[in-house]
Amino acid sequence: MQLFLNTTSPFARVVRVVALEKGLADQLTLVSADPWNHDPALLAVHPQLRIPVLITPEGSAIAESLLIAQYLDMVGTGPALVPAAHAAAVLARTSVAYGLMEAAFHVVIGRKYEGMQADTSVMGQRRLTSIGRVLQQLESASPTPLADHATLDTITTAVALDYVRFRLPALFATQAYPQLHQWLNQAQQQPHLAHTRFA
């Protein structure tokens, strides 16, 4: 299988952690891609021109990190990423984390292409407010404790928080979110998260 990615994409990192969790990492060839420069190899496999994209053994090209995660969960080994007994709670937490990841990514990319004034647009304001709301909710609820086998909620929560810390540290001060920083520091020790750090 091929995985089109770059090493700073939170969406691609989720997929890499999932592949490791599901015992599939050695079946993955990582293909570095640059969606922002009209990468022809990426465009040849998927019209969306975004990463990550997974090419399956039968040649299907799957975009969207959570869909790729769903596929890897089905074909890989080991415990389910979304255990049936806790499916609703795991998916609910995943949706919060995924929303944080998307909002943070759009703030970063808005600033990159439009400058800091991107933050003052209606969408910029909505995203910043959403990031603050999610961080506060996670801080007061505390993310689920880390288990031996990561589930989709802990993977997406750890990746989303680390992405905010990596790209938008001013929004995620340690003094404002002490519990979350503590949780994230611990999560980063998990071998698969440690192996996929942003670079």
Ligand X SMILES: N[C@@H](CCC(=O)N[C@@H](CS)C(=O)NCC(=O)O)C(=O)O
Residues that bind ligand X (CB under 6 A): 9, 11, 35, 49-52, 64-66, 105
* Minimum CB distance to ligand X, residue 49 (Å): 6
Nearer to ligand X, 98 or 172 (CB): 98
* Residue placing its CB nearer to ligand X in the complex, 98 or 177: 98
Contact between residue 24 and residue 75 where contact means Cβ atoms under 8 Å apart: yes
Q: How far is the CB of 174 from ligand X (least distance, A)?
A: 25
Closest distance of CB 109 from ligand X, Å: 7
Name the residue type at position 63.
A
Q: Which is nearer to ligand X, 21 or 39 (CB)?
A: 39
Q: 110 vs 143, which CB is nearer to ligand X?
A: 110
Q: Which is nearer to ligand X, 8 or 186 (CB)?
A: 8
> What's the min distance (Å) between Cβ of 14 and ligand X?
8
Q: Shortest Cβ distance from residue 106 to ligand X (Å)?
A: 8
